[in-house]
Amino acid sequence: MPEFANRGRARASARRAAAWLARESGDTMIEVMVAALIVALIAAAVFVGFGSVASIAGAQRHQAEASTLAQQDEERMRGLSATQLSSTDPGAPTCATTAGVYGNECYTETVDGEPYTITSTAQFVSASDGADACTASTNDNADYIETDSSVTWAANNDGRHAVAEHSLISPHVGGGLVIQVSDGSQPTPHPLQGVAISVTGPDTGTLTLTTDSNGCAVFAGLPGDTYTVGWPSGYIQENTGATSASAIVVDGSTETDSYELGKTGAIVAQFKTTYPGNNYVAATTDTFVASNSQLTSPAVSGTPSTLSSSSSYSSSISSGFTLFPLAGSNDAYSVYAGACAGDAPPSPTTAVVTGNNTTTVQVPEPAMLVDVWGNTTTEVDDPQGSGTGYSVSYSGSWTHQSGVSGNFDNTLSSSNSNGAVATLTFTGTSVTWVTQTGSNRGNANIALYNSSNTLIASATVSGHSNSTVDNVPLWSSTSLAYGSYTLKITVPSGNNYVAVDGYIIGGATSLLSTAPNVTLTDTNCANNETYPPTQVPTSAQGALTNPGEPYGNFTVCADNGSVMNTATVANTNFTTGNTVNVYLNSGATGLTSGTCT
């Protein structure tokens, strides 16, 4: 029995052990996997550590190489002259593969297969405050040159800042010259970048620098002397129009000069005028003005005509590429005909000038109608009416005939009515009564009065003849002082017919039958004198070939080659013109011998 009992216990223990082993089999697999994972993580950490150490070592190597390159670049710049340090690589912004001889440039170096980019900058600074020697707002002394060498490499510099080295270089014994250029904008000028500025001296030759973003070019280490400062062709200086300037450099100090520069532009002025019956027709002149309050004085274009030639008068004048391209809110030129600012009309034409371009504008001129009068013999017909310098009238009973063959203009006026009067009022130096005589013609009473209505001559004359005769000068009065007179022919009582065919007025005032010489003195421009082309005067246009003349006040002189006279005119009406009369007839006030000069 005991034996059977022991066997039973043994089998039960075996069954319990087998069940326990069955339950524990899953836990063992998990433990194995966890152990393996831990080993893998430890291995990965070890490898990452090795990689970090390698990366850190590489970054440190890159930084060390960059520092060496920066120091080498600083040494390179210390070997450059002051002018070279001021210079910028003309190939910029391209980064060169080798270093040049410029203080401001970019180049690359390859070390152990790794490319490095070196950027060099150099600027002049003041010893007093360390500020840049030339900025948009200040101009300090150029005492030292501050250099900067910055080096970068690939892969974003391994997450590190660029390596930079700095130093100060003292120029050799001499002085500094700071040139700053701007565009002349108002109210605040804008710096001009990229303009080549040259400085020429007796010992240095010509040195050239390009202006930076502040419009500055700084020359240092210059021997004390006088230098010529120049800028590129096509640029001029505002107000002066100069293409260069002079600067004096003193050893141990800095000369700072500022210039407002711009590329030249041009204005073409085309002139027009209006006068009665002629609206907005081409006008001619010899000069025009382009002015602006930014300029010290207006720009005058064209060539004043001379006494020997008026060929410089033209309907279109170009300034050529001589005008400064003004900028800012007040950039427009006022354009008008004339020779000075005094010729400006109330509302002048405006034009904006831009560099290398031509602006064309139409410029109005007031019309000056110059009527030149002279001594002529004028035949006046008998019909009632008036003309230049005379008038004809009748009182009482008169018969006026037309189609009368043989008479002046085939007309004749006659009367036998007691007290009938034929009256001629005229201006001149002599008068003749022309009549038709015949068998039925009788006496006539003649009376001549001056402008004060004083009787100065009288007579009774007869028109009787055995046969009819036309165009008979029956009575005349000569050698009169030039002036206004009244001639009366009266029919007496119990008379035969008195006939009037016409009159001949000597020394009468009429427009010249030849072209006069005319000079215009512009009193707005300190007696500027011009000589316009002339023609035989007409009642519509006067004596000027083209009446368009500048706005303002003028003294007009006219001569016929032997006598001359003057008159004044305000040439200010742009719509109806401005008439001025110049009298060359005998006895005219102001008449003198000679010619206009």
pLDDT confidence of residue 252: 82
pLDDT confidence of residue 5: 46
pLDDT confidence of residue 138: 58
- Give the integer Cα–Cα distance in Å for 505 and 375: 10
pLDDT confidence of residue 168: 84
DSSP 162-219: PEEEEEEEPPPSSEEEEEEEE---BSSPPB--S-EEEEEETTTEEEEEE--TTSEEEE
Q: How many CB atoms lie within 10 A of CB 21?
A: 9
DSSP 331-372: -EEEEEESSSGGG--SS-EEEE--TT-EEEEEEEEEBEEEEE
pLDDT confidence of residue 370: 98
- Give the integer Cα–Cα distance in Å for 322 and 307: 27
DSSP 157: G
pLDDT confidence of residue 310: 75
- Give the integer Cα–Cα distance in Å for 284 and 202: 50
pLDDT confidence of residue 140: 61
Q: Return phi, psi of residue 82, to 5°.
A: -60, -40
DSSP 127: T
- Give the integer Cα–Cα distance in Å for 289 and 310: 19
Q: How far apart are the first and last CA of the chain?
A: 172
231 contacts 261 by C-beta, under 8 angstroms: yes
Q: Return phi, psi of residue 59, to 5°.
A: -65, -40
Q: In one letter, which amino acid is 525?
A: C
pLDDT confidence of residue 50: 44
Residue pLDDT tens, the chain, 597 long: 444 444 555 455 555 544 444 454 555 566 667 666 776 666 555 454 445 545 566 678 888 899 999 999 999 998 888 778 878 888 877 899 899 998 899 999 999 889 999 999 988 787 665 566 676 555 566 677 889 999 999 867 777 888 999 888 877 668 889 999 999 787 888 999 999 999 999 999 999 999 988 899 988 889 999 999 999 999 999 988 999 999 999 988 888 899 999 999 999 999 999 999 999 999 999 999 999 998 999 999 999 998 777 788 999 999 999 999 998 889 999 999 999 999 999 999 999 999 999 999 999 999 999 999 998 888 999 999 999 889 999 999 999 999 999 999 999 999 999 999 999 999 989 999 999 999 999 999 999 999 999 999 999 999 999 999 999 999 999 989 888 999 999 999 888 999 999 999 998 888 999 999 999 999 999 889 999 999 999 999 999 999 999 999 999 999 999 999 999 999 999 999 999 999 998 888 999 999 998
- pTM value? 0.67
If we measure between CA atoms, which residue out of 517, 528, 410 comes closest to residue 471? 410
- Give the integer Cα–Cα distance in Å for 144 and 166: 13
